[in-house]
Amino acid sequence: MDTKYIFVTGGVVSSLGKGIISSSLARLLLSRGFKVTIQKFDPYINIDPGTLNPYEHGECYVTVDGHEADLDLGHYERFTNIRTSRANNITTGRIYQSVIDKERRGDYLGKTVQIIPHITDEIKRNVKLLGNTGKYDFVITEIGGTVGDIESLPFIESVRQLRWELGKKCICIHLTYVPYIRAAKELKTKPTQHSVKQLQSVGIQPDILILRTEKDIPAAMRRKVAQFCNVDPDSVIQSIDVPTIYEVPIKMHEQKLDEIILRKTDTPYSGEPDMAKWNQYLDKLRNAKETVKIGLVGKYVELQDAYKSINEALFQSATYEDHKLDLRYISSEKLTDANVDEALSPMDGIIVAPGFGQRGIEGKFVALKWCREHNVPTFGICLGMQCMVIEFARNVLGLADANSTEMDPKTAHNVIDLMEEQKSISNMGGTMRLGAYLCRLAEGSKVAQAYGTTQVEERHRHRFEFNNDYREAFEAHGMRCVGENPESHLVEVVEMPSKKWYIGTQYHPEYSSTVLNPHPLFVSFVKAAIDNKKK
């Protein structure tokens, strides 16, 4: 297959939404029947984001094959339904590690190992890895960071070289920012011109410019940008702020981004992309009148991106249930028995978030006790599920000191304990139980009803696990273990059948919820929250 490569770089400032643009473009090309994949190259030295604090780069996303990935891969999957993998996310750290390993093996035959050509060759090899499988018409590569950063230079240099090697099979999109100066009531294109100059100075002429803006950019101004930047006038596209990111593919198509790319890469095409289902979703989104209010109890409440996939999964499900989502972050660090009623009673449903470590943990127990006693739809995810188990052990089974050995290694009642396979591990990176595992669901359980099946595969990211020694006691007192790994017998799902909706999953269903396929457990939870609101 004649694979074409599309590179997406960013200029002026970070956080312009390269991931959303790449995802939107992928959506459009897929909807035209092309085979597409997207990958992200991150210029940091960490091998992967698995060891990063969420305050640094937001949520750590997990692929089916167990790679701890940048959260942009979540956008890729949500927009496209594509399943990404380890090969879709490369960091500077991975590139260097592989070059250094080769050097130690003697593969370079005594040569001096340098950034150019050895690092850039390794980058290029990785860029082409997915393309070389012959499975794709288009490989979209997003280069993290901003043009001009020291860190991204080797990546930009690799793009320059690839452009020469690939000729018309390669296209460069540069995303920049056009600020609106309120006092002068003017949009300013100077930062864009400078950013394109910077790209040109390292040998890359962008084919398409996408200008991120708060206000409509007049046609004359776009023509001016085209002229200054050596870009075709129809290839200067604006990306104006929209109410939701899911409108972006439509906005890009209105300006013919997909057609421009097909034309510039000499790719035969006809007709229009089939966006019928996508548009149905957007119609629901626009027409939703009522609101469902969900409280998310977690410790990263100031940071939107820390629970990105959960937010999006809730948002998608609410839309399919014809509701707007009102998502409130509730700081688990601040919750106490004295204020919990005030904080949680306005909510139609509660999610208790995943996480690591002691901070904010007691507030999660306070929240869960309240939820259980007030019979509010409650969804515990990963650490949230573990907290459900601990709270139940303390307050129903009467094991006052029950805990996870993550929080208290000496607890007498280790209802959550380190997994056997984790006991010998001391390295932090990529050593958790990661990726998709099979899970059998109990016939007739609420969770099996929600899925409409008793066999699912879901993604994991954890070291600790329900302690099966306590299983009988839990079951006897009303918390059932309704999901289990068929080989290891690890408990993956607990639920309280006596409650409206009280379910905890050791896995992360949020990672696999997409716009066109919202996750059945999130849909079921949101439905329960809506029913709860009506009552």
Return the number of the residue (321 or 406) whose C-beta is nearest ligand GLN. Answer: 406
* Per-position b or e across 499-533, b if 16+ CB within 10 A of its CB: bbbbbbbbbbbbbbbbbeebbbbbbbbbbbbbebb
- The tokens for 263 are 């034309």
For residues 159 and 515, give the distance between their C-alpha atoms in angstroms, rounded to a whole number: 31
Tell me if 434 sits within 8 A of 66, measured CB to CB.
yes
From the list 157, 406, 492, 510, the catalytic residue is: 510
Q: Which is nearer to ligand GLN, 127 or 393 (CB)?
A: 393
460 is catalytic: no
Q: Which stretch binds ligand GLN (CB under 6 A): 25-33, 132-140, 353-361, 482-490?
A: 353-361
Q: Least Å distance between CB 182 and ligand GLN?
A: 42
Check binding of 355 to ligand GLN (CB under 6 A).
yes
Nearer of residues 169 and 463 to ligand GLN, judged by Cβ: 463
CB of 465 vs ligand GLN, minimal distance in Å: 7
- Which of residues 177 and 525 has its CB atom nearest to ligand GLN in the complex? 525
Tell me how far CA of residue 177 lies from CA of 89, 155, 188, 194, 241, in angstroms.
25, 21, 9, 11, 12
Span near ligand GLN by CB under 6 A; candidates 24-32, 125-133, 150-158, 349-357: 349-357
In angstroms, the first-to-last Cα distance of the chain is 57
Comparison of 249 and 360: residue with beta carbon closer to ligand GLN: 360
Q: Which stretch binds ligand GLN (CB under 6 A): 5-13, 327-335, 350-358, 359-367?
A: 350-358
Position among 103, 356, 478, 488 found at the interface with ligand GLN (CB under 6 A): 356
Catalytic, out of 60, 170, 382, 387:
382
The string of DSSP codes covering 392-404 is HHHHTS--TT--B
Count Cβ neighbours within 10 Å for each residue of 97-111 and write b for 16 or more, e otherwise.
Answer: eebeeeeeeeeeeee
CB 50, min distance to ligand GLN, A: 11
421 is an active site residue: no
> Of 88-127, which residues contact ligand GLN (CB under 6 A)?
none
Which residues in the 136-195 window bind ligand GLN by CB under 6 A? none
Q: Which of 43, 298, 349, 354 binds ligand GLN (CB under 6 A)?
A: 354
Q: Which is nearer to ligand GLN, 195 or 506 (CB)?
A: 506
3-class SS of residue 170 = strand
Cis preceding linkage at 117, omega within 30: yes
Contacts of 441 (CB under 8 A, 6+ apart): 447, 448, 451, 453, 454, 455, 456, 482, 483, 493
By CB under 6 A, the residues from 361 to 390 that bind ligand GLN are 382-383
* Shortest separation between residue 390's beta carbon and ligand GLN, angstroms: 11
Beta carbons of 496 and 466 less than 8 angstroms apart: no
Q: 124 to each of 66, 127, 165, 166, how far by Cα in Å?
A: 24, 5, 11, 12
Site string for ligand GLN, 461-500 (x = CB under 6 A): xxxx------------------------------------
Compute the distance between CA of residue 346 and CA of residue 348 in angstroms, rounded to an integer: 7
Minimal distance, residue 471 CB to ligand GLN, in Å: 18
* Nearer Cβ to ligand GLN (82/382): 382
Taking the mean position of all CA atoms in its chain, how far away is CA 188? 32
Amino acid at 362: E
CA–CA distance, 10 with 17 (Å, rounded to integer):
9
> Which residue's CB is nearer to ligand GLN, number 198 or number 488?
488
- Residue 96 · residue 45 · CB < 8 Å: yes
| HSE-up (13 A, CA, CB side) for residue 46 | 17
Other beta carbons less than 10 A from residue 468's beta carbon = 14
- Give the per-residue SS3 of 42-94: ECCCCCCHHHCCHHHHCCCEECCCCCEECCHHHHHHHHHCCCCCHHHEEEHHH
Among left, alpha and beta (phi > 0; psi -120 to 50; other), residue 272 is beta
Residues 273, 258 contacting (CB under 8 angstroms): yes
Residues binding ligand GLN: what is the number (CB under 6 A)?
A: 10
x/- track of binding to ligand GLN for residues 447-466 (CB under 6 A): --------------xxxx--
Q: Which is nearer to ligand GLN, 67 or 163 (CB)?
A: 67
Rounded to a whole number of angstroms, the minimum distance from the CB of residue 383 to ligand GLN is: 3
Shortest CB 235 distance to ligand GLN, Å = 43
We find the least distance from the C-beta atom of residue 389 to ligand GLN, in angstroms, to be: 11
Residue 374 is among the residues annotated as catalytic for this protein: no
Stretch that binds ligand GLN, among 144-152, 228-236, 348-356, 365-373 (CB under 6 A): 348-356
| 454-457 own/partner pairs: CB under 8 Å, 24+ apart | 456/483, 457/64
Please, what sign has the CA dihedral across residues 146, 13, 299, 246? negative
CB of 59 to ligand GLN, least distance (A): 10
- Considering the complex, state which of residue 464 and residue 501 has its C-beta at the smaller distance from ligand GLN: 464
CB of 521 to ligand GLN, least distance (A): 16
Strand partners, 297: 330, 352
Q: Segment near ligand GLN (CB under 6 A), from 4-12, 202-210, 230-238, 352-360?
A: 352-360
**Residue span binding ligand GLN (CB under 6 A) among the ranges 281-289, 316-324, 339-347, 351-359:** 351-359
Q: Which residues are catalytic?
A: 382, 508, 510
Binding site for ligand GLN (CB under 6 A): 354-356, 382-383, 406, 461-464
